[in-house]
Amino acid sequence: MIRPLTHPTDFEYELAKSSILYLTGDSEVRVVVLENQDYRFLVINGAIQSVLKLQDPKALVLPHQLELLAELPQLAPTARVLELGLGGGSALRHASYCYPQLYWCCLETNAEVINLYWEYFAPEQELAEHEIILSDSLEWLQKTPARQQFELILCDVYAEVQAPLLEACLGRLSADGVLMVNWLPHLQPQGNKSLDFFHWLSAQQNLQHTMQKVKGFRNQIHRLTKI
């Protein structure tokens, strides 16, 4: 029986019994793909970016993604989704199996990560409605036509997330759309004091905001909608 991964120590246990499939690195970025009999991992600079459950590729294994993707069942079948940050493509792969009619656009800044997705993490069938674009998220949002609106935007980048990026996301959100943000306190100048930042942003942009902490992990999932 495959043990569920519900705590950081569970992931450490699985990584410890995994073998390396791919390894590269320079002075700034170290990328590793590992696998054991149950899971395949993408790890960048020591942080797990994605997990593939080999016997159930559609499964969401990382606990924060259960909160981040909670809006998917509420979307119309052909709604438009924008994802910032591919990683190993867990969300995109889940959508390929469970929501194949969604238009899904994913922005990723690292070409190596995209190549690793296609080689180690992609579903067997590629869907025309799903695309991956090599681009900085903020640059893409600023240069593409504002008429491109999305019913759901997922900000799941392993990086600093501040007002310019979130404001650009909000500019692409449909009137009844939802912006979901995976906030990692150790990467943000505000640290764990995210509520002050999001309260300020909500007041500036006339938004409704809620936050959910992921039990046992550092992740905070922030949900923003237009009032």
- 80 forms bridges with which residues in the sheet? 103
Residue 2 pLDDT level (bands cut at 50, 70, 90): confident
Query: From CA 56, how far away is CA 38, in angstroms rounded?
Result: 9
Domain boundaries, the chain: 57-226
> In the predicted model, is pLDDT for residue 27 greater than 70?
no
Phi-psi region of 64 (alpha: psi -120 to 50; beta: other; left: phi over 0): alpha
Residue 4 pLDDT level (bands cut at 50, 70, 90): confident
Query: From CA 73, how far away is CA 35, in angstroms rounded?
Result: 30
Task: Give the model's pLDDT for residue 35.
Answer: 98
Output the CA torsion sign for 112, 115, 121, 123: positive
Q: What is the overall mean pLDDT for the chain?
A: 94
72: burial class by Cβ within 10 Å (0-12, 13-18, 19+)?
Answer: middle
Give domain 57-226's CATH superfamily: Vaccinia Virus protein VP39 (3.40.50.150)
> In the predicted model, is pLDDT for residue 125 greater than 90?
no
Percent of the chain topping pLDDT 70 = 99
For 65-123, how does the pLDDT look when each residue is reduced to its tens digit (9 = 90+)? 999 999 999 999 999 999 999 999 999 999 999 999 999 999 999 999 999 999 999 99
Terminus-to-terminus CA distance in the chain, angstroms? Answer: 46
63 or 27: whose pLDDT is higher?
A: 63
Task: Give the model's pLDDT for residue 32.
Answer: 97
> In the predicted model, is pLDDT for residue 154 greater than 70?
yes
Query: From CA 211, how far away is CA 67, in angstroms rounded?
Result: 10
